[in-house]
């Protein structure tokens, strides 16, 4: 399958033969909680609550597949436009997830990192995410990045401002920056490059998620609603990824060139 590309695209720390081709880093737009609830005549909050269960299943399935890093879109900078009640429900998910799962995630070697702006978050939520990051900072088996109060454009703006500030502090009058500088200043800098972006629920857009990081990521859109997600759906998406030919702007080798 993968015939070319940077080292991260074809290497995995897992010894399992079927995982040696990655993906190392999968990003997920967990869409369809509201529709899942509406189809059952339930309030949207129930859809989000079931979404947390799907997230737990998916983190386990990702680790089993040899994936090293999962980045999930929990709350976008645009989600503040939803009703106060729904915003409060979505904030409550962080409390519930960290409250019920932090100890287990710690034991299983999962490092948690929250992407997005801390300012604007309710104080107790900011404290919870700080705690989750602090208490898992030494873990290195699996990286779970939760984008919360996150927007791809905002993250690029923040990265640029960070670089400009650092340059000013070191007395550089007209700084110029490279792609690697920007890579390193984005909130995603701890993870390997994003190999695969999955969006559930049949919608086909990025919605301001990982705009810079998506440059050469493969995209898979699945019709399943997020609360129904789990190992089977993730396996299907990874299978599709592994059938893709990643060229990173180059060309696939001609069959004769491969033979010689
Ligand atoms: C999109 O569904 C989903 C969200 C806005 C929230 C995603 C959050 C979770 C799945 C829970 C886990 C998150 C954390 C932070 C622990 P939607 O409400 O837009 O669904 P719809 O398009 O069907 O209305």
Cα radius of gyration (the chain): 19
Nearest ligand 1 atom to the CA of 226 is 10
In a domain, 184, yes or no: no
pTM over 0.75, yes/no: yes
- Please state, for a pLDDT cut of 90, what percent of the chain lies above it: 81
| Domain count across the chain | 1
Dist. CA 111 → ligand 1 center (Å)? 22
Dist. CA 33 → ligand 1 center (Å)? 5
* pLDDT at res. 256: 55
Residues pairing with 71 in the sheet: 27, 145
Q: Which of 2-11, 77-86, 211-220, 236-245 is predicted least confidently?
A: 2-11
Give yes or no for a contact between 170 and 96, defined as CB atoms under 8 angstroms apart.
no
Q: Which of 53, 74, 151 to mutate to test the pocket of ligand 1 (most atoms within 8 A of CB)?
A: 74
Nearest ligand 1 atom to the CA of 35 is 23
* pLDDT at res. 96: 87
- Please state, for a pLDDT cut of 70, what percent of the chain lies above it: 88
Separation of alpha carbons 4 and 248, rounded Å:
8
Question: Looking at ligand 1, which residue's alpha carbon is closest to its atom 3?
Answer: 31
In a domain, 12, yes or no: no
* pLDDT at res. 249: 80
In a domain, 217, yes or no: yes
Q: And the tokens for 166?
A: 């650092």
Question: Looking at ligand 1, which residue's alpha carbon is closest to its atom 13?
Answer: 74
Residue 138 predicted with pLDDT over 70: yes
Q: And the tokens for 258?
A: 């491969």
Give the residue numbers spanning the domain of 91.
Answer: 21-150+191-242
* pLDDT at res. 63: 95
Residue 65 neighbours by CB under 8 Å, 6+ apart: 19, 234, 235, 238
Please state whether the peptide bond connecting residue 23 to the residue before it is cis, i.e. omega within 30 degrees of 0. Answer: yes
As a three-state string, the secondary structure of the chain is: CCCCCCHHHCCCCCCCHHHCCCCCEEEEECCCHHHHHHHCCCCHHHHHHHHHHHHHHHHHHHHHCCCCEEEEEEEECCHHHCCHHHHHHHHHHHHHHHHHHHHHHHHCCEEEEEECCCCCCCHHHHHHHHHHHHHHCCCCCEEEEEEEEECHHHHHHHHHHHHHHHHHHCCCCCCCCCHHHHHHHCCCCCCCCCCEEEECCCCCCCCCCCCCCCCCCEEEECCCCHHHCCHHHHHHHHHHHHHCCCCCCCCCCCHHHHHC
Dist. CA 162 → ligand 1 center (Å)? 30
In a domain, 54, yes or no: yes
* pLDDT at res. 254: 61
Burial of 170 (0-12, 13-18, 19+ CB in 10 A): exposed
Residue 17 predicted with pLDDT over 80: no
Q: And the tokens for 104?
A: 């287990």
* pLDDT at res. 253: 58
In a domain, 247, yes or no: no
Q: What is the pLDDT of residues 193-243, one digit of tens each?
A: 999 999 999 999 999 999 999 999 999 999 999 999 999 999 999 999 999
Q: Which of 31, 83, 112 to mutate to test the pocket of ligand 1 (most atoms within 8 A of CB)?
A: 31
Residue 28 predicted with pLDDT over 80: yes
Give yes or no for a contact between 190 and 113, defined as CB atoms under 8 angstroms apart.
yes
Pocket of ligand 1 (CB under 6 A): 30-35, 48, 51-52, 55, 74, 79, 90, 93-94, 97, 146, 148, 226
Residues with a known catalytic role = 31, 79
* pLDDT at res. 12: 37
Q: And the tokens for 9?
A: 């695209």
Nearest ligand 1 atom to the CA of 54 is 10
Dist. CA 67 → ligand 1 center (Å)? 22
Q: What is the pLDDT of residues 140-186, one digit of tens each?
A: 999 999 999 999 999 999 999 999 999 999 999 899 999 999 999 99
In a domain, 253, yes or no: no
- CATH number for 195: 3.40.1180.10
* pLDDT at res. 255: 56
Residue 123 predicted with pLDDT over 50: yes
Residue 62 predicted with pLDDT over 90: yes
Binned at pLDDT 50, 70 and 90, residue 65 comes out as: very high
Which residue in the block uniquely carries the two structure tokens 């080798």? 253
Name which residue leads in pLDDT, 59 or 21: 59
* pLDDT at res. 99: 86
Nearest ligand 1 atom to the CA of 94 is 16
Dist. CA 50 → ligand 1 center (Å)? 10
In a domain, 43, yes or no: yes
Dist. CA 1 → ligand 1 center (Å)? 33
* pLDDT at res. 252: 65
Q: What average pLDDT does the segment 46-66 reach?
A: 96
In a domain, 55, yes or no: yes
């Amino acid at each position: 399958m993968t015939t070319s590309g940077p080292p991260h695209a074809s290497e995995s720390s897992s010894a399992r033969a079927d995982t040696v081709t990655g993906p190392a880093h999968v990003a997920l737009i967990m869409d369809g909680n509201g529709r899942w609830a509406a189809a059952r005549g339930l309030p949207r909050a129930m859809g989000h609550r079931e979404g947390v269960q799907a997230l737990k299943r998916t983190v386990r399935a990702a680790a089993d597949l040899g994936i090293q890093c999962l980045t999930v879109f929990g709350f976008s900078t645009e989600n503040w436009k939803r009703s106060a009640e729904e915003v409060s429900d979505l904030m409550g998910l962080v409390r519930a997830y960290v409250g019920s799962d932090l100890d287990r995630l710690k034991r299983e070697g999962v490092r948690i990192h929250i992407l997005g702006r801390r300012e604007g978050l309710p104080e107790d939520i900011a404290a919870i995410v700080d705690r989750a990051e602090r208490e898992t900072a030494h873990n290195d088996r699996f990286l779970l990045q939760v984008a919360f109060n996150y927007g791809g454009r905002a993250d690029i703006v923040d990265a640029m401002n960070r670089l400009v500030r650092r340059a000013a502090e070191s007395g550089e009058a007209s700084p110029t920056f490279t792609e690697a500088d920007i890579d390193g200043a984005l909130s995603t800098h701890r993870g390997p490059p994003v190999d695969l972006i999955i969006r559930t629920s049949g919608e086909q857009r990025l919605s301001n998620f990982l705009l810079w990081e998506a440059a050469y990521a493969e995209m898979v859109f699945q019709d399943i609603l997020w609360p129904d997600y789990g190992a089977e759906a993730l396996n299907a998406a990874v299978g599709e990824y592994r059938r893709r030919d990643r060229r990173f702007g180059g060309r696939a080798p001609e069959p004769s060139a491969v033979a010689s």
